[in-house]
């Protein structure tokens, strides 16, 4: 044995040829600080090993290396000197691999991402099996490759290909990586180790010039000035258009490659180190790393629920073939759970099937779905007018009109049809699950299952626990949501649950400005361009449906009469009364149509200004607009956590990211709050407290600030 550590072992695989194998104790290999130390020690041992002729780098797992240990990042990056020292030291470990006095071959299977990909790039040769996925996804964490990726990849596959890989963070199949020269061969999984060893032997025997293969990575980039300039200008334009100003990482990636292009390895690495360090100190990086950690926490919690499930969902029934019902039936069938779609009108069923067909047809056109899959999915949806058709299903998702009396009647009727062990759920977006359960004989087998529109695109599903909902029901429904490819978050019952409950104070803040005569177009521009929402509040209201939003204000007032009192003279109520329902009937805050080419249009309507009494072009300062909208939302999210509606800050952040499109570079409402600083948020909110209860922070938040605590502290008392 040449070296044995906790995560790495090195031994001769046959005389003269060593295997450096990553073999962490967990399910995957990753570069935490301890593994990087071991990597350096193992490479030092190899450098000093007599009779060494070649090295292959392998993994004992089903995947190669998934990257760095992201759980260490936020703590590590909080100390600037520690961060500078770490990135410089860590990146030089990969130089040790590249500088071994013998040929090196990386053997990759499964995922080789981030640091895993960078370990491969430090090898002289790379062999992949057909399962391999290779990429540098660091921009998705607000970072760039930090172990030499921006220096090595352009010298291996050319600056244009490298810039595309790094600035998009996309994963690449083995075949695609082979096409651009990122790897040297693709083999069957059972041949991987043998192929890597044979390549190392060929290089050691002089049949391959491994030193010539290594040399370009040690030198300045071989590209003439004109080619390089054009490549960089093109990349900058694409990144500016796609990433915009809120995501600095892809811009920094270009900067690192540009600054290191005319440098030898050490100079290029310094350029990368500097850019990486600067990104670690940005709010966007902290937010995006926070999202990753929150997402992992949510997934872990969901898996625990699913693991405890005693009932498996093999078939589903959907009541209501509208946009939501049809979308739910489609998603269920797509993911292998046949769905019976029941409605009282044949034309609704026809529309639901047509919608499913339209989604599948788009998938076929984009090459994501083949015709066989399309036929299979459509044949897995059974449209019906008969209640008896759902009698044998394992779960029913009710998705009829958002009216408590209608829903209560439909639920009670269908409970008498389905089996005694079947689960009943409601896709209600605001109505109390506990209240709806009063219509049922088996309330313990009932919960909320709130999907978001469009169902096939939106990743979030809120699972709402009523007062009598059993743990077994929640576990089974979470497992079903996971089967559908969704991210389920379990919340407790209250009007609006989590997502809609916190959305309405945000919309109330917006409406307050419009009522004061401020131009809704200007508000939308600020909230989209400066804060980063995908849609401003006026446009969002039109997309949701003005009539739907107006109806929800009634429900929210019943639940929170002092804080969310309905104002019949507000913008939403006026538009609803004028039957300006938004996109669904072509007019709301905006008017909707198509241009000469058939593309959708959205224009401000003079009639809207006249109806609402607001003034075209009247503006508030951008900071005021953001504060007026966001303070109420953050306050309400904090209340939901304090009341136990949602279990953690991480779950709340993911819910708003996946359910509302909260700007990812801000990380979610709690990450946004803590980035601003709880003290600073309180000071800001106090300036607007005179506007009403939605602007007034809770006593709990003041106590958190006084104690210097974080909402992300898992030991925090609840």
- Structure tokens given for 436: 């709806």
Per-residue CA distances from 333 to 211, 317, 341, 381, 484 (Å): 54, 11, 11, 6, 9
- Of 168, 170, 172, 171, nearest in space to 243 by CA: 168
Q: Tell whether 514 is in a known binding site.
A: no
Say which residue the tokens 């609840």 belong to.
718
Nearest-angstrom CA–CA distance, 466 and 491: 9
Provide CB contacts within 8 A for 305, sequence distance 6+. Answer: 474, 475, 478, 479, 488, 490
Give the other-Cβ count within 10 Å of 629's Cβ. 24
The reply to whether 343 sits in an annotated binding site is: yes
């290999």: which residue's tokens? 29
Instruction: Report the alpha-carbon distance of residue 385 to residue 343 in Å, rounded.
Output: 5
Contact yes or no for 486/461 (Cβ under 8 A): yes
Q: Report the distance separating Cα 652 and Cα 462, nearest Å.
A: 11
Query: What one-character DSSP code corresponds to residue 585?
Result: G
What is the Rg, in whole angstroms, of the alpha carbon atoms belonging to the chain?
Answer: 28
Tokens of 612: 């609402």
Catalytic residue chosen out of the listed positions 450, 456, 551, 690: 450
Q: Cα(575)–Cα(554) distance, rounded to whole angstroms?
A: 15
HEC string for 262-309: CCCHHHHHHHHHHHHHHHHCCHHHHHHHHHHHHHHHHHHHHHHHHHCC
Q: Is 251 a catalytic residue?
A: no
Residue 401 assigned to a binding site: yes
Residue 1 annotated in ligand binding? no
Q: Report the distance separating Cα 7 and Cα 20, nearest Å.
A: 11
Does the annotation list 324 as a binding residue?
yes
| 429 labelled ligand-binding | yes
Distance in angstroms (rounded) separating the CA atoms of residues 583 and 453: 14
Q: Any binding-site annotation on 500?
A: yes
User: In angstroms, rounded to a whole number, what is the distance separating the alpha carbons of residues 514 and 509?
Assistant: 9
- The DSSP symbol for 529 reads I
- Which tokens is 392 given? 């044998």
Distance CA 113, CA 171 (A): 8
Whole-number Å distance between alpha carbons of 636 and 599: 38
In 143-251, where do the E strands start and end? Answer: 171-173, 185-187
Q: What residue numbers does the annotated binding site cover? A: 295, 324, 343, 400-402, 407, 429, 453, 500, 658
Q: What residue numbers does the annotated binding site for NAD(+) cover? A: 324, 343, 400-402, 407, 429, 453
Q: What residue numbers does the annotated binding site for substrate cover? A: 295, 500, 658
Catalytic residues: 450
């Amino acid at each position: 044995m040449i070296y044995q550590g906790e995560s790495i072992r090195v031994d001769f695989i046959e005389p003269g040829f060593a295997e450096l194998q990553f073999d962490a104790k967990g399910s995957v290999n990753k570069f935490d600080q301890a593994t990087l130390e071991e990597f350096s020690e193992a490479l030092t041992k190899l450098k000093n090993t007599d009779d060494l002729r070649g090295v292959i780098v392998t993994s004992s797992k089903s995947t190669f290396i998934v990257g760095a240990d992201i759980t260490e990042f936020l703590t590590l990056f909080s100390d600037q000197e520690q961060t500078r020292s770490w990135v410089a030291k860590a990146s030089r470990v990969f130089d040790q691999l590249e500088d071994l006095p013998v040929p090196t071959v990386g053997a990759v299977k499964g995922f080789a991402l981030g640091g895993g990909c960078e370990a491969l790039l430090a090898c002289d040769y790379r062999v992949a099996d057909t399962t391999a996925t290779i990429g540098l996804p660091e921009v998705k964490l607000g970072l760039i490759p930090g172990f030499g990726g921006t220096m090595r990849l352009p010298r291996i596959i050319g600056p244009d290909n490298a810039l595309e890989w790094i600035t998009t963070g996309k994963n690449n199949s083995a075949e695609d990586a082979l096409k651009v020269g990122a790897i040297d061969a693709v083999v069957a999984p059972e041949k991987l180790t043998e192929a890597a060893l044979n390549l190392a032997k060929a290089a050691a025997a002089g049949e391959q010039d491994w030193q010539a293969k290594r040399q370009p990575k040690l030198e300045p980039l071989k590209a003439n000035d004109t080619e390089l300039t054009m490549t960089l200008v093109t990349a900058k334009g694409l990144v500016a258009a796609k990433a915009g100003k809120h995501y600095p990482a892809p811009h920094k990636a270009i900067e690192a490659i540009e600054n290191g292009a005319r440098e030898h390895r050490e100079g290029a690495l310094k350029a990368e180190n500097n850019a990486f360090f600067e990104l670690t100190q940005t709010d966007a990086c902290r937010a995006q790393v926070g999202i990753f950690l929150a997402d992992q926490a949510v997934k872990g919690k969901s898996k625990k629920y699913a693991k405890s499930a005693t009932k498996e969902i093999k078939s589903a029934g959907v009541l209501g073939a509208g946009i939501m019902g049809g979308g739910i039936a489609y998603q269920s069938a797509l993911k292998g759970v046949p769905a019976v779609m029941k409605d009282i009108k044949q034309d609704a069923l026809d529309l639901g099937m047509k919608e499913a067909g339209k989604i599948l047809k788009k998938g076929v056109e984009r090459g994501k779905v083949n015709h066989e899959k399309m036929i299979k999915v459509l044949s897995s949806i059974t449209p019906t007018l008969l209640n008896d058709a759902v009698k044998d299903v394992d779960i029913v998702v009710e998705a009829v009109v958002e009216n408590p009396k209608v829903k209560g009647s439909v639920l009670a009727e269908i409970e008498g049809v389905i089996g005694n062990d079947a689960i009943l759920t409601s896709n209600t977006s605001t109505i109390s699950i506990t209240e709806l359960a009063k219509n049922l004989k088996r309330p313990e087998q009932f919960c909320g299952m709130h999907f978001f529109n469009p169902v096939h695109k939106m990743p979030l599903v809120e699972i709402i626990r009523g007062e009598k909902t059993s743990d077994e029901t929640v576990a089974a429904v979470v497992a079903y949501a996971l089967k559908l490819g969704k991210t389920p978050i379990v919340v407790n019952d209250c009007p609006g649950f989590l997502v809609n409950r916190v959305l309405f104070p945000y919309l109330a803040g917006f409406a307050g400005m419009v009522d004061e005569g401020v131009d809704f177009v200007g508000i939308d521009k600020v909230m989209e361009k400066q804060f980063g929402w995908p849609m401003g509040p006026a446009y969002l209201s039109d997309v949701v449906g003005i009539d739907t939003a107006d109806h929800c204000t009634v429900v929210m007032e019943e639940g929170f009469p002092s804080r969310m009192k309905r104002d019949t003279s507000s913008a939403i109520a006026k538009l609803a009364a004028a039957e300006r329902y938004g996109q669904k009937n072509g007019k709301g805050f905006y008017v909707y149509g198509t241009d000469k080419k058939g593309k959708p249009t959205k224009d401000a309507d003079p009639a809207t200004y006249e109806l609402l009494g607001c003034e075209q072009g009247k503006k508030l300062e951008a900071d005021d607009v953001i504060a007026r909208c966001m303070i109420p939302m953050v306050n309400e999210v904090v209340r939901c956590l304090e009341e136990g509606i949602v279990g953690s800050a991480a779950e709340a952040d993911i819910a708003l990211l996946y359910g509302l499109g909260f700007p990812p570079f801000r990380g979610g409402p709690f990450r946004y709050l803590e980035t601003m600083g709880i003290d600073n948020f309180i000071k800001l909110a106090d300036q607007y407290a005179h506007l009403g209860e939605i602007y007034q922070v809770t006593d709990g938040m003041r106590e958190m600030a006084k104690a210097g605590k974080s909402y992300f502290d898992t030991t925090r008392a609840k």
